[in-house]
């Protein structure tokens, strides 16, 4: 594992240890000043209390890992993203846009052994941190693809059952998703009953255009649920034109998934049903 430069956290409200992709002879004081001023231009790791977090800025936590349990989903938003398994409990192919700290990749690699996983990551510095977050090495059923995931999905010849989108920069949802008409390419990348799952956060003005485009491309077949613990919203978009959620079946499926994976799928099913009934996705787009 590559050694990272370490210094005490300079953030008054976030104690602990900061780890950086910097040479061992770096100026700690200068790095601390850049971090405090928001001028540090690489992802960094903040570690405290048995948790290891990936940041692009202090304002957004990209991923959190329980150091002793890398495959555990520590953040509520990541747990909610896995509610997509209610619609396809045993997916065969999963594509992930945005590796981050790899919590979703690690969870899926451990708990969905029959699935082929492809994680797309544009930032080489994020990939350089994969070992520090317990991301499994590439193997026959898992790979991390370095490069522009938006372009990769636009050119992909294969189809996936689940597309997990967790693509953030320092200021929120990546603007490139709109600029490249990513949502149309994403719809084509999904199989016939495929599900796109997307995490959005930050100022509503920043993510509302993404929600609106998703609703347009998927012909309103989008359900959104809030994640009050983290201040995020999770969107579920369905390719199947005949999609109609069978809530009674989903509630029974939730119990089986809870027993198998340990997450609160019954609560997720309730939130999804409430999100559809209340038109939460449509309200986020306004």
Q: Where are the domains of the chain?
A: 5-66, 76-284
Sheet of 190-200, strands arranged across:
142-146, 116-121, 93-97, 160-165, 190-200, 232-238, 222-227
Q: What is the reported pLDDT for 127?
A: 97
Q: Which residues are catalytic?
A: 166
| In the chain, alpha helices (H) | 28-37, 76-81, 103-111, 124-128, 149-155, 176-179, 182-189, 204-217, 247-261, 265-277, 280-284
Q: What topology does CATH give the domain 76-284?
A: Rossmann fold (3.40.50)
Note the pLDDT tens digit of each residue in 207-243.
999 999 999 999 999 999 999 988 899 999 999 999 9
pLDDT, position 48:
96
pLDDT reported for residue 231: 83
Chain position carrying tokens 């451990």: 110
The reply to whether the predicted model has a pTM over 0.85 is yes
Low-confidence stretches of the chain (pLDDT beneath 70): 1, 169-171
Closest CA to 58 of 97, 18, 98, 99: 18
Tell me how far apart the alpha carbons of residues 224 and 236 are, in angstroms, rounded to a whole number: 6
pLDDT confidence of residue 230: 82
Residues 230, 76 contacting (CB under 8 angstroms): yes
* Angle between helical axes of 204-217 and 182-189 (0-180°, round to 10): 50
DSSP 69: B
pLDDT in tens, 115-133: 999 999 999 999 999 999 9
**How many angstroms separate the Cα of 92 from the Cα of each of 42, 118, 159, 227?**
34, 11, 10, 27
């Amino acid at each position: 594992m590559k050694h990272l430069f370490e210094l005490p956290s300079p953030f008054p409200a976030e104690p602990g240890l900061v780890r950086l992709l910097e040479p061992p002879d770096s100026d700690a004081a200068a790095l601390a000043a850049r971090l405090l001023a928001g001028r540090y231009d690489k992802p960094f790791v903040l570690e405290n209390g048995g948790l290891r977090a990936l940041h692009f800025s202090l304002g957004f936590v990209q991923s959190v890992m329980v150091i002793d349990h890398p495959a555990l989903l520590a953040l509520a938003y990541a747990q909610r993203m896995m509610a997509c398994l209610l619609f396809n409990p045993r997916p065969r192919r999963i594509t992930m846009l945005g590796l981050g700290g790899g919590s979703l990749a690690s969870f899926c690699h451990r708990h969905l052994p029959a699935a082929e996983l492809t994680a797309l990551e544009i930032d080489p510095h994020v990939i350089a941190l994969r070992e520090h977050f317990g991301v499994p090495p590439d193997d026959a059923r898992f790979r991390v693809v370095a490069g522009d995931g938006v372009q990769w999905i636009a050119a992909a010849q294969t189809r996936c059952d689940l597309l997990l989108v967790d693509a953030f920069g320092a200021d929120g949802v990546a603007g490139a998703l709109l600029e490249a008409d990513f949502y149309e390419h994403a719809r084509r990348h999904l199989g016939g009953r495929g599900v796109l799952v997307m995490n959005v956060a930050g100022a509503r003005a920043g993510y509302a255009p993404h929600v609106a485009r998703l609703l347009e491309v998927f012909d309103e077949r989008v359900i959104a649920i809030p994640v009050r613990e983290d201040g995020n919203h999770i969107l579920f978009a369905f390719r199947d034109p005949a999609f109609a959620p069978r809530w009674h079946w989903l509630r029974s499926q939730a119990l089986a998934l809870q027993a198998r994976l340990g997450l609160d799928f019954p609560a997720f099913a309730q939130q999804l049903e409430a999100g559809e009934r209340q038109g939460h996705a449509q309200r986020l787009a306004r």
